[in-house]
Chains A and B, each alone.
Chain A
Amino acid sequence: MKSAEASARRAKILTQIVLIIMAFIMLVPFAWMILTALKTNQESISVNPFYIFPHNGWHWENFATVWKSYNFVILYKNTILMIFFRVVCACLTATMAGYAFGRLKFPGKKVLFTLVLIQMMVPGQIFIIPQYLMVSKMNMLNTTFGLVFPGLVTAFGTYLLKTGYEGLPMDLEEAANIDGCSVPGRFLHIMMPLTKSSMVSLGIFTAVFAFKDLMWPMIVCTNASTTTLSAGLAKMQGQYGSEYPTMMAAATLAVLPMIIIYVIFQKQFVEGIATSGGKL
C-alpha cells in the first residue's frame, strides 16, 4: 500500500517537473525578447551562449528609441479600436445567426448554414480581394471601419454559437413561449445569457486573431496614422532589420495590450480554450 502511494507520489513529482520544464521552454522566447531589448546591438548578435543577460548595463533607452521613432499611442489606439469593434461585431452577429440556425425554423436554413460552413472551409485569403474592393469602393481605406470590416461577421463564430444554442434544453424556450415571450425576447432574455461562455470564447479568439492580423491592415491602411501594431511592427522589421535590441523593444511594447488583456481575462481564456477546444 505504502509502495503504491510512494509510486503515485513519484509519478506526480515527475509530471510536475516535466510540466515546469515545458513551461520554462515556452517562456524562453519571451524572456529572450525582453533580455535582447535591453542589450547593445553587439551583445544581441553575439553567439556566446553565456551572453544571456546584458553585460554592459541594461539599455532601457532602446524602448525610448522606438517609442520616439513610432507613435505607439496611435498604434495602440488603432489596435485597441480594431480589436474592440471586431469583438463586439463578431459576438453580436454570431449570437444572432447562431440562435437563428440553432433554434429557429425557416425556409432555406440548411442551404444557408451550408454556405456558412463552406466559408469556413476555404482559405481566408480568397476573400481578401473582394473585401478590399468593397472597402475601397466605399472610400473607407485608411479608416477604423476598414480595419474592422472583415470581422463584422464570422462563420466560425456562427458555428460555435449555433452549437452552443443547440446544446441548451428546449424546455426553457418552450416555457418562455407559453408565458407569451416573443422570439426576440426569448433570445435576449432566456437563451443568450446561457451562451455566455461560448461568447467569451468567441470574443477571445476574435481578439487574438485581430491582434495577430497583419495582411489586412497592410492592405487597407497605408497611412502611418491608421495602421495597427502588427503592421507597424512589420515596418520596424524593415527599418531596424539589423538592430535586434530596437526590434525586440518594439516587439515587447507591441505585446503589452495582449498581456494586459490576458491578465484581466485569464480565467475566461482558459475556460474559452477548454469549452471550444480551439487553439490560439
Chain B
Amino acid sequence: MSGSGGRMQHWLQAEKEKMRDMSVRQKISYILTYYWLYIAGILTAVILIVFFIHRMFFSIKDFWFYGMFANTMENGGNESDLWYDFVDYADFDTTQKKVEMNSRTFFDPTVSGGTNNSYYQAFVALVESGDLDTVVMGTEALKGIGSSGRLLDLSDEKCADLMKKYSDRIITCIPYDEEYSEESVPVGIDVSDSLLCTKYHLYEEDCALGISAYTDRIESVETFLDFLFSEEEGSTDNG
C-alpha cells in the first residue's frame, strides 16, 4: 500500500512541477489532453453510481397489487379501464406504490407442452419473485397451475376470511406433490360472473382467480375480489 501511495505522491509532485509555470488555461488544456480518459471514466462511473443509487432508494419499489390475466385478447393491462376502476375503487395512491396488471400472457399448463413455453416460464419467474399476487384464467388451466403448487392453498389460515367469504366459489385440485396432500386442495375462486366477464369482457367462458403461493399482500387480493364482485353501475352490461 505504501509503495503505491508513494508512487502516487511522486506522480502528483511531478505533475505539479510540470504545471507550475502554466497559466490556468494551459493547465486546463494540459489536464484535458493527458487525462481526458481518466476524467471520462470517472464521470461515467459517478453518473452510473448516482443513477443506480437514485433508482434504488428514491423510486417506487413496492406494489399495491400485481394481477395477471392470462389467455385473454381484451386489454386488462396497465392504464386500461379495469386498471383505472380498480385503483379508484381501492383508493390506492399510485405515487406511493405501483398497481400492475398484465393481460399479455398466454399459457395453459394442462395441454401438452404447456409448461415449456416462455409465457409459462415468465409466469413462474413472476410468482417466484414474490411480485405477482393473482392470476386469472380458465378454470381448468388454473387447476393445472394449482396442482403444480404455484398457487396458495386457500385453507391456509391467512386466507381464512377469503375462504369464509367465497366458500361457494372455491375451486379445488389434487396436487402433483403427493407428500403435500393426496386429497383436493382449494386453490382458486370462481370469478366467472364477476366484473371481469360482465363489464370488462376479459373472459367469455368460466374463469377463476388463483393467489400466488409467495404473495404477502392478501389484503390487496381481498380488495381486488371485493372490486370484482362489487355492484357498480353498468356491471351487468353484457356488451
Contact flag A219-B41 (CB < 8 Å), given A137-B56, A142-B78, A238-B106: no
B contact residues vs A (CB 8 Å cutoff): 34, 37-38, 41, 52, 55-56, 59-61, 71, 73, 75, 77-79, 98, 100-102, 104-106, 118-119, 121-122, 125-126, 128-129, 131
Q: What 1/0 flags go to A100-115 for Cβ under 8 Å of B?
A: 0000000000000000
Q: Find chain A residues with CB under 8 A from B38 CB.
A: 184
* Contact stretch, chosen from A54-62, A221-229, A246-254, A257-265: A221-229
19 CB-based A-B contacts, threshold 8 Å: A125-B121, A129-B128, A132-B131, A136-B131, A139-B61, A140-B59, A182-B37, A184-B38, A215-B125, A218-B104, A218-B105, A219-B122, A219-B126, A222-B101, A223-B77, A223-B79, A224-B75, A224-B77, A237-B106
User: Per-residue 0/1 for A135-160: is the Cβ within 8 Å of any B Cβ (1 yes, 0 no)?
Assistant: 01111111000000000000000000
Smallest distance from the beta carbon of B62 to chain A beta carbons, Å? 9
A231 within 8 A of B: yes
Distance (Å) between the CB of B109 and the closest chain A CB?
A: 15
Return the CB mask of A54-74 against B: 1 if under 8 Å, else 0.
000000000000000000000
A238 to B70, CA, bound (A): 11
Interface core residue of A188, A215, A222 (most chain B CB under 10 Å):
A222
Using CB atoms and an 8 Å cutoff, list the residues of chain A in contact with chain B.
Answer: 125, 128-129, 132-133, 136-142, 182, 184-185, 188, 214-215, 218-219, 222-224, 227, 231, 234-235, 237-239
Known: A184-B38, A184-B41. A138 touches B56 (CB 8 A): yes
Residue pair B55, A139 in contact (C-beta under 8 Å): yes
**New A-B pairs, 4, CB < 8 Å, besides A141-B100, A231-B104:** A132-B125, A138-B56, A182-B34, A219-B122
The distance from the CB of B187 to the nearest CB of chain A, in whole angstroms, is 22
Distance between Cα atoms of A156 and B121 in the complex (Å): 24
Across the interface, name the chain B residue whose C-beta is closest to A188.
Answer: B37
Give the docked Cα–Cα distance between A143 and B55 (Å): 13
A136, A137, A142 pick with most chain B CB within 10 angstroms: A136
Closest-by-CB residue of B relative to A128 is B125
Closest beta carbon of chain B to A144's beta carbon, Å: 14
Give chain A residues whose Cβ lies under 8 Å from the Cβ of B55. Answer: 138-140
Q: Which of A184, A214, A219, A234 contacts B125 (CB 8 A)?
A: A219
The chain A residue with its CB closest to the CB of B59 is A139
Measured between C-beta atoms, what is the minimum distance from A215 to chain B in Å?
4
The 7 closest A-B pairs by CB, nearest first: A139-B59, A138-B55, A238-B106, A222-B102, A184-B37, A215-B118, A218-B122
Contact of B129 among A133, A139, A184, A215 (CB under 8 A): A133
Given contacts A137-B56, A139-B61, A218-B104, contact A223 B78 (CB under 8 A): yes
Nearest CB to that of B101 among chain A residues? A222
How far is the CB of A17 from the nearest CB of chain B, in Å?
Answer: 38
CA distance in complex: A77, B12 (Å) = 48
A129-B129, A132-B126, A184-B37 in contact; A239/B73 too (CB < 8 A)? yes
Taking the closest CB of chain B, its distance from the CB of A9, in whole angstroms, is 49
